[in-house]
């Protein structure tokens, strides 16, 4: 399968259109289908690089108009985030309204259970029924992750299952493949405009790379982006497991623009919230902390940490990117 990468230059919309054509998106997105766009919108503080760039979202929507019958943008709640609040604070909501895209909070959709005997951890996967009524196009960000090294196409589907999914954090290698086997995502468009390195997926360092990528084999897409980021895909457990499961193939070649060597991304390390979580998960207190009302106290502490981070660093990062000549308007507050 063809994976394509394009430099954005001065026109995000055109770059997205071109990269989807090079990756033969029509082979994966049938004409007149309903398309669910799974964005990465898991934080209402919107530090560039932590969430899907609304400019890339707009490019994908414009490309699908006239080809898809209906387009929906989807995401679901986290234990730490009210995704409804995040969506309406994001420029994505404004673009969706302007272009006639429907918003679906997957947390409130009817659920079905898919039994997949070959799954290793989640043999009965609970998924929103609505996602079985069309095709899924995932819109991840190019970034590091403190539990999975990278989070790109495959990891982005983690947000399609119920919000207590954090209970699988100690077995993500297998669980990511289990979820993707249940969902059968058709296509990926990777946002590499503003990536994130360091202690991502939230409190990392935004890094402007200025590329977009696309492909129908999510394992191949992710392995190519991992290589661009300076990581060996064969050393990333969830990519190796997905390859072994036959969900795609780890690859190295792509079409489109030649991307010059990128300075390797700083790997993610566990921030304070992640360290505390793992400490309790690996201890004998795990059930007491995560399966009782004590979890509420943990969540309050985590929210305080992230708000302090935003106060000390995040707000200045947003202010800087709002002055960006190409992306600034997309990270401004919606009207």
DSSP 21-63: HHTTGGGTS-TT-EEEEEE----TT--BTTB--HHHHHHHHHH
Residue 290 has pLDDT above 80, yes or no: no
Neighbours of 9 (CB within 10 A): 12
Q: Which two tokens stand for residue 276?
A: 């505390």
Model confidence band, residue 162 (pLDDT cutoffs 50, 70, 90) = low
pLDDT of residue 165: 61
Share of the chain above pLDDT 70, in %: 93
End-to-end Cα distance, the chain = 41
Q: Which of 22-31, 73-82, 148-157, 195-204 has the lowest mean pLDDT?
A: 73-82
Spatial separation of the C-alpha atoms in residues 7 and 315, rounded to whole Å: 28
- Position 140 scores a pLDDT of 97
Quick one: which of 200, 183, 161, 159 has its CA closest to 47? 200
| Residue appearing with tokens 């994966």 | 28
Relative orientation angle of helices 272-281 and 294-309, to the nearest 10 degrees: 160
Asked whether 213 and 5 are in contact (CB, 8 A), the reply is yes
According to CATH, what is the number of the domain 3-268? 3.40.50.11440
Assigned token pair, 85: 């609040």
Q: How many residues does the chain have?
A: 335
Instruction: Look up residue 117 and give its DSSP letter.
Output: T
Percentage of residues of the chain with pLDDT beyond 90: 64
- Residue 183 CA to residue 61 CA, distance in Å, equals 21
Cα distance between residue 144 and residue 53, in whole Å: 16
Give the Cα separation of 185 and 250 in Å (integer).
Answer: 17
pLDDT at 285: 64
Query: What pLDDT shows up at residue 166?
Result: 60
Question: What's the mean per-residue pLDDT of the chain?
Answer: 90
Supply the DSSP symbol for 162. -
Q: How far is CA 297 from the centre of its chain?
A: 27
Torsion of CA 280, 285, 287, 288, to 10 degrees: -110
221 to each of 6, 85, 194, 225, how far by Cα in Å? 13, 31, 17, 6
The pLDDT-based confidence of 33 (bands split at 50, 70, 90) is very high
Inter-axis angle of helices 218-228 and 237-244, nearest 10 = 150
For the CA atoms of the chain, what is the radius of gyration?
Answer: 19
How confident is the model over 214-231, as a mean pLDDT? Answer: 97
Tens digits of residue pLDDT in 304-318: 888 898 899 888 988
Q: Distances from the Cα of 32 to the Cαs of 25, 65, 71, 193, in angstroms?
A: 13, 10, 10, 29
Q: Checking phi first, is residue 155 left (phi over 0); if not, alpha (psi -120 to 50) or beta?
A: alpha
Q: Between 203 and 218, whose confidence is greater?
A: 218
Query: For residues 100 and 114, what is the distance between their CA atoms, to the nearest angstrom?
Result: 31
């Amino acid at each position: 399968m063809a994976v394509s990468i394009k430099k954005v230059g001065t026109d995000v919309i055109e770059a997205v259109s071109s990269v989807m054509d090079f990756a033969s998106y029509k082979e994966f997105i049938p004409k007149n289908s309903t398309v669910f766009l799974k964005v990465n919108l898991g934080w209402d503080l919107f530090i560039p690089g932590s969430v899907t760039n609304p400019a890339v979202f707009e490019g994908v929507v414009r490309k699908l108009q006239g080809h898809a019958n209906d387009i929906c943008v989807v995401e679901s709640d986290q234990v730490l985030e009210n995704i409804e609040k995040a969506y309406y604070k994001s420029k994505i909501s404004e673009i969706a309204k302007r272009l006639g895209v429907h918003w679906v909070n997957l947390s409130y959709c009817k659920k079905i259970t898919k039994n997949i005997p070959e799954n290793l951890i989640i043999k009965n996967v609970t998924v929103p029924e609505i996602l079985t009524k069309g095709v899924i196009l995932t819109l991840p960000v190019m970034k590091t992750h403190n539990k999975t090294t990278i989070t790109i196409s495959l990891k982005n589907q983690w947000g399609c299952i119920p919000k207590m999914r954090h209970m699988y954090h100690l077995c993500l290698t297998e669980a990511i493949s289990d979820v993707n086997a249940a969902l059968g995502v058709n296509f990926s468009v990777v946002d590499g405009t503003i990536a994130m390195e360091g202690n991502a997926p939230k409190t990392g360092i935004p890094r402007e790379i200025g590329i977009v990528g696309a492909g129908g084999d999510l394992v191949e897409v992710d392995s190519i982006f991992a290589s661009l980021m300076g990581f060996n895909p064969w050393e990333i457990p969830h990519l190796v497991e997905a390859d072994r499961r036959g969900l795609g193939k780890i690859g190295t070649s792509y079409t489109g623009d030649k991307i010059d060597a990128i300075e390797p991304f700083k790997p993610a390390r566990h921030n304070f919230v992640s360290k505390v979580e793992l400490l309790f998960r690996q201890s004998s207190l795990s059930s007491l902390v995560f399966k009782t009302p004590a979890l509420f106290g943990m969540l309050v502490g985590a929210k305080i940490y992230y708000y302090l981070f935003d106060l000390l660093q995040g707000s200045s990062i947003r202010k800087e990117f709002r002055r960006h000549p190409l992306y600034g308007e997309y990270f401004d507050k919606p009207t």
